[in-house]
Chain A
């Protein structure tokens, strides 16, 4: 038996998220008395594949074929399912991102394997196999027992520490016959945001709400984000008003994020907004209303007008950065 972890790549590169899931899979494999296998699909250089070994993967399987350049959920799940069978994998780990969420459920049905999504820690119990995940958008958690022989987990972002070691993985390039008739998704156009720190990748996020008063007031917020190497975000009313683009909307129906540091500026903290950011490690709130619910989840708070506090905060960060 083994633990298989599917590591997606972005233009041939892995990112922190990939190493988090490999670290998790390897630690879980250790608990199960076995080893982890990382599966990479697509064109990734050998040196990049070797990086997965550092986070504990015993072996890296590399499957590349031009048909795999498009993410077709049926094609991908069929490839992964075949490798699961070949390697006798009993637990399959994917990231809880768009790709993981697209593939895991299909795999679950194909392999008759119970699936739990966005788990946030190692299982406390292996037999029975019980995982822990957020429910009700972070207002509660659930312990979920997976009853099937094969188990599928997607891991919530930024919920597991990277574990580096001296480990080296063997790389196995696996020739693979792909069933071209399965490929139904045709990509007509790709629109990528360039030169921006992605909200879902960012360690620090600076976010503004209606307390910013006008779309013209965003300059100091963006300056603060730039100084900290942070991504920018906003609340739903702000994106609905068109003050900021929709892809910045964080909250229950927008993006769910879990950065190390989240600045909530001029955000009162509705249940729906907090649902999208409650997994952040540290929340800083700046709001004019001392009774705003955002202060209930914040570690640090400043009661004041965002327009007055922000420029001072920018200066303070500059001072420290220049030291």
Chain B
């Protein structure tokens, strides 16, 4: 079986975001770029599956939509252990655009298990995985918190409101992955970083497509009202304020 992990290039999650051009564009000055956290967990799980020969995983490939400037993020994924990568050479304009680009590449060269993070930490869209599955006409399972292979059969835990379900799904399919899929993201070893330099990144040119959605502009959150401090000896006052002022209890 072959696994494809779709990764997104996002600002480090501790970044204090700022915007330029009249709030139309993210200010990228000084931003550290990372693999989207959920994609990184997906990649970790894919590599864990490959580590156990009985799972029969031949290769783990990374797919990414982005310009050449994002290659360091792809190299990070290769350093963690992916075998090779495909980069579709365009700006990831919106979720539908990204999913359509990925689908083109996958149709030409199919994979059995496709992993997508449940959202990207920048646009918080939760759309690419499901859209990709629909373009490919593959089944999809969302909110996947565990994925294993038993006797060639894929077994998945998916989160539902108030619990989880254990489900099976035939390959090929798209798993939309959340926390739990792997405990900690795998860290690249020195050897991994060295070998990543020579691993192949295949570059594909994009298809043209109308955009379904576009960002008009960004806004910053409203400043929070100043915190009202209450004497630790007098929590009764807090309860009264919650009851009478905030009216939340």
Residues of A within 8 A of B (CB): 10, 71-74, 77, 96-99, 101-106, 108-110, 112-118, 130, 133-148, 154, 184-193, 196, 198, 200-201, 203-204, 228, 246, 249, 252-254, 260-261, 271-272, 275, 278, 281-282, 284-285, 295-304, 308-309, 312-313, 315-317, 319-320
Contacts and interface: CB of A to CB of B under 8 A. Distances in A.
A198 to B, nearest CB: 5
Given A184-B169, A261-B248, A302-B229, A142 B130 contact: no
B142 interface: yes
Given A113-B212, A249-B179, A296 B165 contact: no
Contacts of B124: 117-118, 133-137
A198 B159 CA distance: 13
Interface stretch (B70-78, B194-202, B217-225): B217-225
B123 A301 contact: no
B141 interface: yes
Interface stretch (B12-20, B43-51, B57-65, B105-113): B12-20
Nearest to B168: A186
Interface residues of B, number: 83
Nearest to B130: A105
B90 interface: no
Contacts, number: 268
B163 interface: yes
A72 to B, nearest CB: 7
10 contacts: A72-B139, A96-B126, A103-B130, A105-B133, A106-B131, A140-B17, A184-B170, A188-B166, A281-B246, A300-B227
Name the prevailing secondary structure of the A interface residues: mixed
A141 B142 CA distance: 25
B121 A187 contact: no
A108 B97 CA distance: 12
B190 interface: no
B45 to A, nearest CB: 14
A151 to B, nearest CB: 9
